[in-house]
């Protein structure tokens, strides 16, 4: 019986060895395979933070639900982990990486989970700034760079005085320029930082301001020439001169200094600075043109003189624009007073020849047109002397009535009274048949000032002057 029992036990041991143990192992494997990561044994992995910049770290960790400790840990890929066999390694990936974890408990049950760690990099340098490199002050221009994937900021910097009207923190801006040149630059960035900026130097051109002064003559003669200049105007590359219609620039057009040929018209000249952005405000001065003296009018005075006998007065009406007067006389005659006036006193010496007296106005621009009076110089036989001696004008100056007292006249004479312009106010015939006579003339119809009286016939003439009050 014992033998049988021993035999049975021995057989059972044999069965266990060859059948029951492999069956147990098979059931264990099946059970392990069916429970890996399932049932009550689960894990959840975490990355803090799950997004990092290149060169930064992420802390990996795991949360376990169920299972029988102690646990073993296996992280992969292991190359960028501080330790792949602990529960909370530090990850330092250079690129975005998926990390996997297998956790095995004491009874060899396993559970798995994965987590992605995202790696961001600094944006690449921006493209060259696109936009004008030469602008005018006050103008509006667009500047831009290419868009960069992953960039979260576009920081623009502009010169002092310029204003970004729109587009800051985008890849394109609208910029209103002030008056300062400088650089337009942009830095592109994200959470990981910024790269080197893209820079565009820009030159700002300012419209020239007004000139400070125009130097040159403000009075010239008609058809004269004048030199005019101005100081350099900031920002000007050309100078625009504006002249009256009949004036023109002889030399220096477009520069700070010009020579101008004037016509007959006075007027304004102005200068403005110019550059590629426009023309600045003008500075203007007035130029007055002086004319030659007016043409001389009638020369008043005797046209027949007795040589070596007396002084004779000659005059012309004052002339517009004249500052002095010139006279020429027949040979042998001399001006004894009034050399540069419109009224002269002349002595005709014994050597005087008949000839013209001329009178003309003078000023800085030259001589005006002359007037001519022919003079007959005679050795008097007593006719002119008798006439001159026999005529008296009373009173002188004349208040209202003029009296002409004539004695010793033997011929008829024409009596003329005229003003300095030669306008005749009285014309009468005096008979020589009356030895002595007095003529009364109403002077109230004569203009105030210098008047002239002339007696003449075929034998000669004399002229006297009087003043009407």
Q: Give the pLDDT confidence of 274-287 residue by residue, as tens digits.
A: 999 999 999 999 99
Return all residues near 339 (Cβ < 8 A) that are at least 6 apart.
Answer: 327
394 with 359, same domain: the answer is no
Average pLDDT over residues 293-300: 93
pLDDT of 29 strictly over 60: no
Residue 11: the pLDDT is 41
If phi > 0 it is left, if psi is from -120 to 50 it is alpha, else beta; for residue 10 that is alpha
**pTM score:** 0.54
Give the distance between the most distant pair of CA atoms in the chain: 222
Asked whether residue 7 is domain-assigned, the answer is no
Domain containing 318 equals: 291-380
Position 432 pLDDT exceeds 80: no
Q: Residue 100 phi/psi, 5° resolution?
A: -115, 145
**pLDDT computed for residue 395 by the predictor:** 82
Q: Considering the domain boundaries, does residue 26 fall inside one?
A: no
The 10s digit of each residue's pLDDT in 354-401 is 999 999 999 989 999 999 999 999 886 544 444 454 677 778 788 888
- Tokens describing residue 34: 């069916």
Of residues 229, 238, 228, the one with CA closest to residue 273: 238
Q: Residue 7's pLDDT band (boundaries 50, 70, 90)?
A: very low
Mean local confidence (pLDDT), 232-251? 95
Taking the C-alpha atoms of residue 183 and residue 139, their distance in angstroms, rounded to an integer, is: 16
The pLDDT value given to residue 455: 80
Poorest-confidence range of 61-75, 166-180, 423-437? 423-437
Q: Give me the mean pLDDT over the 439-447 stretch.
A: 88
Locate tokens 């003339």: which residue? 441
CB 65 within 8 A of CB 42: yes
At residue 450 the predicted structure's pLDDT band, cuts being 50, 70 and 90, is: confident
141-155, 166-180, 410-424: lowest mean pLDDT where? Answer: 410-424
Length of the chain: 469
Q: Give tens-digit pLDDT for 89-123.
A: 999 999 999 999 999 999 999 999 999 999 999 99
In a domain, 23, yes or no: no
CATH number at residue 422: 2.60.40.1930
Structural domain total, the chain = 5
**Cβ-count burial of 99 within 10 angstroms (0-12 exposed, 13-18 middle, 19+ buried)?**
buried
CATH code of the domain containing 252: 2.60.40.10
Residues 47 and 113 in one domain: yes
* Residue 24, in any domain of the structure: no
Residue 110: other Cβ atoms inside 10 A: 19
pLDDT attached to residue 257: 97
Of residues 363 and 40, more confidently modeled: 363
- Mean pLDDT across the stretch 338-357? 94
Q: Provide, rounded to the nearest whole percent, the portion of the chain with pLDDT above 90.
A: 65
Q: Which residue has the higher pLDDT, 71 or 448?
A: 71
**Residue 24 phi, psi dihedral angles, 5° rounding:** -65, -45
- Domain end position, chosen among 380, 407, 432: 380
73 pLDDT above the threshold of 90: yes
Whether 253 and 276 share a structural domain:
yes
- Helices (H) then strands (E): counts for the chain: 3, 38
* Residue finishing a domain among 153, 172, 205: 205
Average pLDDT, the chain: 86
Residue 11 lies in a domain: no
Average pLDDT, integer, range 201-227: 94
CATH number at residue 65: 2.60.40.1080
The domain boundary residue, chosen from 60, 85, 120: 120
Beta-carbon contacts of residue 65 (< 8 Å; ≥ 6 apart): 40, 41, 42, 43, 44
Q: In what order do the strands lie in the sheet with 97-104?
A: 51-53, 110-120, 97-104, 72-76
d(CA 139, CA 269): 31
- 409 has pLDDT over 80: no
Strands, DSSP E only, in 167-243?
172-176, 182-190, 193-194, 198-205, 219-221, 225-229, 238-242
pLDDT at 441 over 60: yes
The answer as to whether 59 is a domain residue is yes
Residues 352 and 427 in one domain: no
């Amino acid at each position: 019986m014992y033998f049988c029992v021993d035999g049975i036990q021995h057989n059972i041991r044999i069965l266990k060895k060859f059948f029951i143990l492999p069956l147990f192992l098979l059931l264990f494997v099946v059970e392990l395979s069916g429970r890996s990561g399932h049932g009550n044994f689960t894990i959840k992995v975490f990355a803090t933070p799950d997004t990092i910049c290149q060169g930064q770290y992420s802390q990996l960790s795991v949360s376990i639900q169920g299972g029988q400790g102690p646990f073993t840990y296996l992280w992969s890929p292991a190359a960028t982990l501080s330790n792949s066999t602990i529960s909370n390694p530090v990850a330092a990936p250079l690129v975005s990486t998926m990390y996997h974890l297998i956790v095995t408990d004491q009874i060899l049950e396993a559970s798995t989970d994965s987590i992605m760690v995202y790696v961001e990099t600094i944006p690449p340098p921006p493209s060259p700034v696109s936009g004008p490199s030469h602008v005018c002050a006050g103008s509006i221009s667009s500047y831009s760079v290419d868009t960069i994937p992953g960039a979260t900021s576009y920081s623009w910097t502009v010169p002092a005085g310029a204003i970004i009207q729109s587009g800051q923190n985008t890849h394109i801006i609208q910029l209103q320029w002030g008056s300062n040149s400088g650089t337009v630059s942009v830095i592109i960035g994200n959470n990981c930082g910024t790269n080197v900026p893209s820079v565009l130097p820009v030159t700002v051109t300012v419209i020239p301001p007004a000139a400070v002064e125009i130097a040159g003559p403000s009075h010239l003669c008609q058809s004269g020439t004048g030199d005019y200049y101005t100081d350099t105007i900031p920002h000007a590359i050309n100078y625009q001169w504006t002249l009256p219609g009949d004036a023109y620039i002889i030399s220096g057009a477009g520069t700070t200094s010009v020579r101008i040929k004037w016509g007959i018209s006075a007027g304004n000249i102005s200068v403005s600075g110019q550059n590629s952005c426009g023309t600045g405000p003008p500075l203007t001065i007035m130029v007055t043109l002086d004319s030659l003296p007016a043409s001389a009018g009638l020369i008043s005075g005797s046209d027949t003189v007795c040589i070596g006998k007396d002084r004779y007065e000659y005059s012309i009406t004052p002339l517009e624009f004249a500052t002095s007067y010139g006279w020429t006389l027949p040979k042998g005659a001399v001006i004894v007073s009034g050399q540069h006036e419109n009224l002269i006193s002349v002595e005709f010496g014994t050597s005087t020849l008949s000839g013209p007296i001329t009178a003309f106005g003078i000023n800085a621009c030259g001589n005006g047109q002359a007037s001519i009076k022919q003079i007959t110089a005679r050795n008097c036989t007593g006719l002119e002397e008798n006439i001159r001696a026999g005529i008296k004008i009373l009173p002188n100056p004349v208040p209202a009535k003029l009296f002409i007292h004539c004695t010793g006249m033997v011929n008829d004479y024409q009596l003329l009274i005229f003003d300095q312009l030669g306008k005749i106010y009285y014309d009468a015939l005096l008979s020589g048949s009356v030895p002595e006579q007095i003529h009364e003339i109403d002077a109230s119809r004569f203009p105030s000032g210098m008047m002239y009286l002339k007696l003449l016939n075929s034998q000669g003439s004399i002229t006297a002057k009087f003043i009407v009050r």
